[in-house]
Chains A and B, each alone.
Chain A
Amino acid sequence: MPTSPQAAPGIPHDAPGAPRDAPGIPHDAPGAPRDVPGAPHAAPGAPPGAPPGPLLSYEGLTLTYPATAGPVTALAGYTLAVSRGEPLALIGPSGCGKSTSLLLAAGLLAPTEGSVCVAGEPITRPRLTTALILQDFGLLPWKTVRENAALGLRIRHFSRAEREQRTDRALEQVGLLEFARAYPGELSGGMRQRLALARALALDVDLMLMDEPLSALDALLREGLQDLLLGLWQERGYAQLLVTHSIEEAAFLGRRIVVLTPRPGRVAAIIDNPGMGEHSYRGTQAFYLICQQVRAALQKSRGDTPAPTLQKSRGDTPAPALQKSRGGATHA
């Protein structure tokens, strides 16, 4: 039976009508050193010849969805930079624009105002070495595990030999090689998650975007997969932008933890988490303190959204310090 004509935009087939030429905040000239000298861009995976500057940067970004019931502004004044090889966790109230910010970074949405740059270039379309893993993994049930893992390579017309070699390596790395001929429907939730990871790994990504990748899994599985995510990041050294609603997950997987305001989202606070990177980090005192800080920052961002007051830092609080991000100033 025909259903009612659906005019609601939903997730658009094409980028929504946001003009790409909107004059945003001007980017730095290519090559201009915008990093504070000596700033800790401790990027384990930064290739030697890589251009300076962040791998991913949002500058004064606004994104408005043209919804039928009136436009919805998901992000406003959103400024954030992610260095090469940096693992970053993004946390914030639901509906604050976390998923939207990933779609922007993946080149699937165009900003209404401001800009998103990847590797110094404004991003206008999906990029070969950026991976996006959505909440329900986006696997294709009619393709086998191997076909799903090879999908990105096939769409990019890689040779058959290269495809097989890379896919097998990726499947091996997530422990799914022996299930290569199964269909996703035959896999458990955790295995599907690992398959989505394999699809990204096969592309040799340098930017991994993940939208609440573990939220569909039960608690027992989740820790194991967090360990896998940490191990893969350590081995492959990509920059990672992980959206999560779990404070513990953010503290375990984010070297910096970005807390967003309610909608329209912008950065409310950035919490440094230098102790992250060890599997044994969970359960340490430092980990516990970070979790507390994130919790406090979330509560604060929820409470006094518009107030731009700076958090008074107490002299007796030891580092790691809680910072208010202002206009995208790089953290020191």
Chain B
Amino acid sequence: MRRLLAYLAALAVILLGWHLTALALDSPALPTPLATLPMLYRFAPQLAPDFLVSIYRVVLAMLLGTVIAMPLGLAVGRSPRLDALLAPLLYILYPIPKIVLLPVLLVLLGLADAPKIVLIALTIFFQVLVTVRDAAKAVPPAAVLSVRSLGASRLDVFTNVVIPASLPELFTALRISSGTAVAILFFAEAIAGNTGLGYFIVDSWAMINYPRMFAGIIVMALLGVVLYELFDLAERHLTRWRQKR
């Protein structure tokens, strides 16, 4: 309840700030919050297909990156030998902004869904890999020894200790990367192809149709917020034990 109130208050502050900025700028590129509502309504039918395409791309990409990176991160985190082998690779590859690979992917994979999904999945992959590896590494040895003293197999240790210990870190990583994922999506869609919210926004901009452009921007911003909140919700649900401290 307190949380909800704080949330609503923050929302009110943001809307007010937006309203005042829009009034001060007095530009068709930044309408007031109230003015955007009819725009959203007007462009909803045109927006819907692009919105769905964008959601599909970003969700599938994040899922792919996570599903591949999670087991690998757990394994690397718990095996000093694998870690010694892969750590130098990670050192070099992790900081590379994967978005610079976009032209390469466009040449290799065409202009449709594939390059966008692969690009986002790559970014998420490295983020999740590094996060999960560090989390798995940080599992207290005493917890592992205790569980092993109860007769736990390697698999038992993973399911009872290493995975639950890494989940909060994983969801934090996904939550924080969801913004990056939407940003990459926008960029990739704006540059290549003729589908998705990114294309919709840039297309409207080129047509100098500012209300249409702004409707697209709002929906893309909402996509980011909703993703973030979903991961936040999942994190809080899966790590209820953490709140009870």
Interface residues of A (CB under 8 A from B): 1-11, 13, 103, 106-108, 125-128, 130-143, 151-152, 155-156, 182-183, 185-186, 199, 203
Contact = CB atoms under 8 A, between A and B. Distances in A.
Contact of B130 (A2, A8, A106): A2
A5 B241 contact: no
B167 to A, nearest CB: 8
Given A6-B83, A10-B141, A151-B160, A126 B241 contact: no
For the complex of A and B, list the 5 residue pairs with the smallest distance between their C-beta atoms, beginning with the closest.
A138-B146, A5-B87, A132-B149, A11-B141, A152-B150
A128 B151 contact: yes
Contacts of B91: 2
B150 A126 contact: yes
A141 B241 contact: yes
B30 to A, nearest CB: 37
Contacts of B152: 155
B6 interface: no
Nearest to B85: A5
A11 B87 contact: no
A185 B146 contact: no
A106 B145 CA distance: 10
Given A183-B244, A185-B241, A151 B84 contact: no
Interface residues of B, number: 38
Contact of A138 (B142, B154, B245): B142
B145 A186 contact: no
14 contacts: A2-B87, A4-B87, A6-B80, A106-B149, A108-B149, A133-B146, A134-B145, A135-B142, A136-B140, A136-B142, A137-B146, A138-B143, A140-B161, A142-B239
Contacts of A139: 143, 146
A183 B160 CA distance: 15
Contact of A152 (B137, B143, B151): B151
B88 A5 contact: yes
A91 B88 CA distance: 44
Q: Which of A132, A136, A142, A143 has the most B CB atoms < 10 Å from its CB?
A: A142
Interface of B: 78-80, 83-84, 87-88, 90-91, 94, 130, 133-134, 137, 140-152, 154, 156, 160-161, 164-165, 239, 241-242, 244-245
Given A13-B79, A135-B142, A186-B245, A126 B151 contact: yes
Contacts of A143: 160, 241
Contacts of B87: 2, 4-5
A2 to B, nearest CB: 5
A155 B133 CA distance: 25
Given A7-B84, A13-B79, A155-B151, A140 B145 contact: no
Nearest to A209: B149
A94 B244 CA distance: 35
Contacts of B143: 138-140
Contact of A2 (B84, B90, B241): B90
B147 A185 contact: no
Contact of B84 (A5, A131, A142, A182): A5
Given A126-B149, A141-B241, A13 B78 contact: yes
Nearest to A13: B78
Contacts of B142: 134-138
B44 to A, nearest CB: 42
B149 A5 contact: no
B160 A130 contact: no
B185 to A, nearest CB: 25
A103 B141 CA distance: 12
B239 A156 contact: no
Contacts of B134: 2-3
B241 A132 contact: no
A183 B244 CA distance: 7
A183 B145 contact: no
A186 B244 CA distance: 6
Q: Which of B84, B133, B141, B156 has the most A CB atoms < 10 Å from its CB?
A: B141
Given A13-B154, A136-B142, A185-B242, 17 more contacts: A1-B94, A2-B130, A5-B88, A8-B80, A10-B141, A108-B145, A108-B149, A126-B148, A132-B145, A132-B146, A134-B146, A136-B140, A140-B147, A152-B151, A155-B150, A183-B244, A185-B245
Given A2-B91, A4-B87, A183-B241, A140 B164 contact: yes
Contacts of B78: 13
Contact of B149 (A11, A131, A186): A131
A155 B244 contact: no
B136 to A, nearest CB: 11
Given A136-B140, A151-B150, A11 B161 contact: no
Given A13-B79, A140-B164, A185-B245, A151 B147 contact: yes
Nearest to B137: A6
Nearest to B95: A1
Given A2-B87, A13-B79, A142 B164 contact: yes
A9 B130 contact: no
Given A2-B90, A136-B140, A140-B164, A11 B130 contact: no
A11 B239 CA distance: 27
A155 B88 contact: no
A185 B137 contact: no
